[in-house]
Structure 1
């Protein structure tokens, strides 16, 4: 059955994450990412919008209002909405580690504040009507093990301070679970962190099919693995249900993706669940069926759009139009199976 909702968005950050100037995979401009997204078409259906990365070279987090309105005009000229925004919380951008010292944690909150300011301008412009602000702990998983309880408490305190800022702006924060982020590197630790933050109206979970697949395997947290290599299909679905039952009540933002069971990192990005093409023959996930586990009750949790994420694809793949048509076709199948009107 064809559904009108959720809206289908493409992420802009695959043009930036893992990209480095002067290499075979330099950053791809926002203009080019918009062109590729707008050119995708499947049986007359198109993407409805984009999710944005709030850092250079796509977005200056300190851009003045006029520059941000011009960006909004450009996005709207394609008939797109802007949905979720990625706050520049990492060291080397605006922010710093949520598990760091007082100064680092102050920078983290500042990054969220800057993201909220931009969100407000987009909202007032009219190009943004839904979506969240995405965060993570902005620090690697290895150091967390030095003192798990204290470090989770510290991250939770930072998230709470950021959440107060977000709530004042009418925004929600979605913490992206990836095996590379401290305190968020396993499904169980992610639940523990969200419970420690204890602000479910403002802080939730951003689920990505590729990243959460590695949660099952316990890649950076073998003590929380739900599956072992060589598992059978009959073992997969009960494990997937256990994980999604724990995290779905927190899930307020959702990324459609594929994973081949490996980790990957390029540029400055640490290794995490590898994003693969939607039709990758080595993909481990039945994308449409897995998406249904996360999208149960999505409307009640305020989800109005879903987004594709294909971070760290080589530029040659991103520059091939058929890549985006295949992705859009997969997104449409997800919406047809699990959407609403």
Structure 2
């Protein structure tokens, strides 16, 4: 077997939470997500870590030092690390009132504090803090110019706070978030923020919808009524998309999508995450991940030290099967075999932040 040990392979725990709740299916507890991640194994290879959402009831962003120490011990005892973290910024939209925007920045600050404590405890040697605008494209469209200015100003303030902690912020490219609802809008936002610690989080399921022009038909790359049996336009479209967004990409989610949108619970419709082996998936996961992990000349970018699988809004009966996570791990291993590298783990873990 290929002996690449980078990028590290992570599983996201927030799919036990996102799209769940009283108006959907029950939340899957954090400990269950953690245990199923730790139990997954394929030919002796296991997950290296988890990415987490700082959201109740999984994790409280206002956790005490003792709470965070218990979390670090729990994860470390399973031979896992923690990587990227989702900041719970939805209580204060980035283009909302002054009070909303202050709350947004404060949520980022609290996330940075949480992340620094995990680094100090030795369980978070890499990773970023993930954000979005917490605002809908529909509300943004009422005044695109001024709303974009507010999003940019809020992101700039959040970046300045994060910089004090040595953290990078990754804006999630997802069609349900204003200012990042299309690939062109995402680039315009990133360019306007213009901070060295601001980047892009690419999720293969979400970025496929960028190609299809959902919520922004003028930015569509694939032809209308595209015939999915012909992969040539898809490959060319992915080359165009990744050439534009790859330079900004600092966090990466491996995922599958069947070319549709989906929402459950209170979550808006967005790119449907499919199982790793879903026969209706439109992506060749291993091949198409290479568009993000390699540059236009085919060279590895090594832009991030770990990759993560995101399976948001999978049904609970799927998520509670261990085979689901074994299949996901097997897919991630194939991605690393094709697009990874072998390197000694640095003694100074701080060099891996990002």
* TM-score normalised by length of structure 1: 0.96
- Give the corresponding residue for 1:139: 135
How far apart are the structure 2 equivalents of 1:14 and 1:330? 18
- Give the corresponding residue for 2:225: 229
Matches within 5 A, 1:5-20: 5-20=6-21
Q: 2:159 aligns with which of 138, 147, 163?
A: 163
Note the residue ranges of structure 2 that are not aligned, 5 or more in a row: 343-354
- 1:252 matches 2:250: yes
Equivalent position SS for 2:61: coil
- 1:121 matches 2:121: no
| Alpha-carbon distance, 1:300 to partner | 5.3
Note the residue ranges of structure 1 that are not aligned, 5 or more in a row: none
| Alpha-carbon distance, 1:22 to partner | 7.7
How far apart are the structure 2 equivalents of 1:28 and 1:239? 36
Q: Is the 8 A contact 2:101 2:154 kept in 1?
A: yes
- Give the corresponding residue for 1:50: 50
Cα separation, partners in 2 of 1:116 and 1:270, compared to 1, 3 Å: same
| Alpha-carbon distance, 1:235 to partner | 1.3
> What is the aligned residue count?
335
How far apart are the structure 1 equivalents of 2:302 and 2:90? 27
- Give the corresponding residue for 1:214: 209
Superposed CA deviations along residues 203-244 of structure 1, whole A, max 9, x for unmatched, are: 000000000000000011001000123243221111111111
Equivalent position SS for 1:43: coil
How far apart are the structure 1 equivalents of 2:186 and 2:86? 19
- 1:205 matches 2:200: yes
How far apart are the structure 1 equivalents of 2:301 and 2:262? 34
How far apart are the structure 2 equivalents of 1:331 and 1:253? 15
- Give the corresponding residue for 1:329: 330
Equivalent position SS for 2:181: coil
How far apart are the structure 1 equivalents of 2:210 and 2:54? 27
How far apart are the structure 1 equivalents of 2:48 and 2:326? 14
Q: 2:101 aligns with which of 105, 109, 113?
A: 105
How far apart are the structure 2 equivalents of 1:22 and 1:155? 29
How far apart are the structure 2 equivalents of 1:10 and 1:28? 14
- Give the corresponding residue for 2:76: 76
Matches within 5 A, 1:275-290: 275-290=273-288
Equivalent position SS for 1:146: coil
Q: CA RMSD, aligned part only?
A: 1.3
- Give the corresponding residue for 1:296: 294
Report the more deviating stretch, 288-297 or 77-86.
288-297
How far apart are the structure 2 equivalents of 1:151 and 1:2? 48
- Give the corresponding residue for 1:274: 272
Which of structure 1's runs of 4+ aligned residues deviate more than 6 A? none
How far apart are the structure 2 equivalents of 1:47 and 1:256? 14
- Give the corresponding residue for 2:348: none
- Give the corresponding residue for 1:64: 64
